[in-house]
Chain A
Amino acid sequence: MNNFEKQLNNLPRARLSRRADLLIRYKLMCAGLKQYFSGVSFNFFAMAGLRPVLAAVVILVLVFSGATSAYAYNSSQITRASALYPVKRGLEKIESRFATTPAAQVKFHNKLAGRRIAEAQFLSLGSAAFTADQTASSTGEALPVKLEYENEFNDTLRDADDEIERANERAREIGDRTELDRSLALLSDAHLNELGKIKAMAEAVGIEADDRTTDNIALILENIKGRQQRIVRAISQFDGDLKRAGENEDDEDGASASSSEKNIAKGQSASTTPDEAASSLDRVRNEIKVLESELSQGGRISNKQIKRLTERLNKKINQAETAIQAGDLSKFNGLLRATEALTNNGQHFLKENNKEEKQIKGLPLNNFGDKVKAQYNLKEIQAKLEEQRKKQAEKLREELKKAAEQNQENGTIKIDDRTATSSVNVLSDQKNNSSADQTASSSVDN
């Protein structure tokens, strides 16, 4: 064998397998960690005997954190100031990633808007119970309502408004006709649902609440009403588009959607000149007078409440006038918008005679000072508000249907069966949500 040296040079070389390589790396990493923690007096690796205990603790922590997250996610009592609120928002953020299509996003943002409103409702209810206690234990007359969690409440309402607006924006991105139709129906139902809730909230807060709170509620009511009108117009436009498109079938795909989109866009325009501003001011002054005369009729509302409302409205008008005299159009427009919103929705803040006192008598009179105890009668108040909300939502729905039918007779609008069906679905969903809230509140009570 003359070439054995050559053979020796060609001896086979083996390589470490991938699996073994990973295993060695893992062992080295563990050794590294062990070395790192060896300087720490509390050595986890030395606690071999405690491993089952540690495992049990880890399992308990996982189970507890899972249950806590589920509670945080589902409960409307977890509000902005709660320690668990970031958990709630974090889970919602994760959930948002699953809503990939515009239609799914419309649904998702609607859901979030509903959740924010439920949180605001909880905050306003806590305040109502607190005020009721104070009122009953003192003079028996209504005291100025000061929301206990005013900032939290206002921020939550603004979040709700943002979510509603986001849902509308997503609807504008929908190109598919069927999807757009469904989404508009969903938006319409959601708006009605939200309107009902916020009106109930306005009544719970009352006209005696501070300016910022009433302004916020009035503005969100106005925004939702405006959006609802635009949705109805969009459905009308959409229906007209469909009829026209029937002749050309698929040739105009997207055209109907885009024309409907325009109708969802914001329509309010602000005053741009002092003349326009002066005319707007006169118009709002007249609206205030009309409102005052309407409210005074029948004696259902106490003069004190009407006076309070008109005083506030006139104060705002005077401020707006001062702003326009100073040439500050932007401030004027803001004030005018707030005044109009409160004028159009002022009646929701007023309580009918004798109604308030009956509600107060139903509540326990002591220890309502803190938030947790304010929840004590949450079920009762929620049930009452739920009933009111249902009635109001039903009434609005009927009004909308009637308006749609009238328009249909004129050949301009048609709301199909799906709209009505989804209205019923949304109402039943609302009922379920309300039951879930009640269950949560009863667990807190216990």
Chain B
Amino acid sequence: MAQQKQNFTDYYNQYKDKIFNYFWYRVNFNRALAEDLTADAFLKAFKSFNGFDHNRSFQSWMYAIAKNHLLNYYRTANRETDLLEVEKMGVNELAKIENRLELEQAFELINQLSEYHREVLLMRFSDGLDNREIAEILNKDEGAVRTQISRALEELRGQAHNA
């Protein structure tokens, strides 16, 4: 058990910022809320760690837990259908903080994408995951993810052109 706990600490050290970043982008850049959700997600992971298959990727397992936890949070807060609105608010908030017009425009464009395209793009660019990792998390084929990202970018370009 001590060995497993040690391993979990290693994993925690490795992924804590990534998971926090994941929540941060999805909860209106609310740092306090993102920290709470990160803590809850890691606690859930710790409790289930005995059943974790070490042949699998810890990252995809952890992202799956984070995603489920985020959905639960939205569901509890009756906000699962307000994701778009939240993210719009997030863009405004970020614009206030960063004062970067182009970034705001990019977020506005991303928020206009379909939910699936938006998720893969955020995973790819905000969470810094590669196609294989995204495929593992979303339980999809890597080629399919690559295609979806490509299509999402194409859609984004189209919107940028129209804007």
Chain A positions within 8 Å of B, measured between CB atoms, are 1-5, 7-17, 20-21, 23-25, 27-28, 31-32, 35-36
Q: Are B38's CB and A16's CB within 8 A?
A: yes
Report the Cα distance A24→B125, complex, angstroms: 26
Q: Are A7's CB and B17's CB within 8 A?
A: no
Q: Are A1's CB and B105's CB within 8 A?
A: yes
**What are 5 A-to-B residue pairs whose CB atoms are below 8 Å?**
A1-B163, A13-B128, A15-B20, A28-B12, A32-B5
Q: Are A4's CB and B160's CB within 8 A?
A: yes
Neighbour of A20 across the interface among B35, B156, B163, CB < 8 A = B35
Q: Are A14's CB and B46's CB within 8 A?
A: no
A21 to chain B, nearest CB (A): 7
How many A-B Cβ pairs are below 8 Å? 80
Within 8 A of A (CB), among B40-75: 42-43, 46-47
Report the Cα distance A35→B46, complex, angstroms: 10
Given A15-B17, A24-B38: A7 touches B103 (CB 8 Å cut-off): yes
Neighbour of B39 across the interface among A4, A8, A24, A32, CB < 8 A = A24
Question: Hey, which chain A residues are within 8 Å of B12, CB to CB?
Answer: 24-25, 28
Q: Are B39's CB and A31's CB within 8 A?
A: no
Question: Hey, which chain B residues are within 8 Å of A7, CB to CB?
Answer: 102-103, 106
Report the Cα distance A14→B23, complex, angstroms: 10
Give A12's nearest chain B residue, CB to CB.
B98
B124 to chain A, nearest CB (A): 8
Report the Cα distance A3→B124, complex, angstroms: 17
| Chain B contact residue count (CB 8 A cutoff) | 37
Given A13-B128, A24-B42, A28-B12: A8 touches B121 (CB 8 Å cut-off): yes
Within 8 A of A (CB), among B134-160: 153, 156-157, 160
Q: Are A13's CB and B160's CB within 8 A?
A: no
Given A14-B20, A16-B17: A1 touches B102 (CB 8 Å cut-off): yes
Neighbour of B35 across the interface among A1, A5, A17, A31, CB < 8 A = A17
Main secondary structure of the interface of B (DSSP, over half): helix
Report the Cα distance A36→B109, complex, angstroms: 49
Give A1's nearest chain B residue, CB to CB.
B160
Q: Are A8's CB and B35's CB within 8 A?
A: no
B16 on the A face (CB < 8 A): yes
Report the Cα distance A13→B98, complex, angstroms: 12
Question: Hey, which chain A residues are within 8 Å of B5, CB to CB?
Answer: 32
Main secondary structure of the interface of A (DSSP, over half): helix
Neighbour of B153 across the interface among A5, A31, A32, CB < 8 A = A5
B14 on the A face (CB < 8 A): no
Closest 10 CB pairs of A and B: A20-B35, A8-B125, A16-B20, A24-B39, A1-B160, A7-B106, A14-B24, A11-B126, A15-B17, A16-B16
Q: Are A23's CB and B39's CB within 8 A?
A: yes
Give B107's nearest chain A residue, CB to CB.
A11
Question: Hey, which chain B residues are within 8 Å of A5, CB to CB?
Answer: 153
Given A14-B24, A24-B39: A31 touches B47 (CB 8 Å cut-off): yes
Give B156's nearest chain A residue, CB to CB.
A4
Q: Are A4's CB and B43's CB within 8 A?
A: no
B33 to chain A, nearest CB (A): 11
Give A7's nearest chain B residue, CB to CB.
B106
Report the Cα distance A25→B34, complex, angstroms: 16
Report the Cα distance A193→B46, complex, angstroms: 67
Q: Are A32's CB and B46's CB within 8 A?
A: yes
Neighbour of B125 across the interface among A9, A15, A20, A27, CB < 8 A = A9
Give B125's nearest chain A residue, CB to CB.
A8
Q: Are B38's CB and A20's CB within 8 A?
A: yes
Q: Are A11's CB and B31's CB within 8 A?
A: no
Question: Hey, which chain B residues are within 8 Å of A15, CB to CB?
Answer: 17, 20
Question: Hey, which chain A residues are within 8 Å of B1, CB to CB?
Answer: 35-36
B21 on the A face (CB < 8 A): yes
Give A21's nearest chain B residue, CB to CB.
B16
Question: Hey, which chain B residues are within 8 Å of A35, CB to CB?
Answer: 1, 47
Question: Hey, which chain B residues are within 8 Å of A27, CB to CB?
Answer: 39, 43
Question: Hey, which chain A residues are within 8 Å of B157, CB to CB?
Answer: 4
Report the Cα distance A8→B118, complex, angstroms: 12
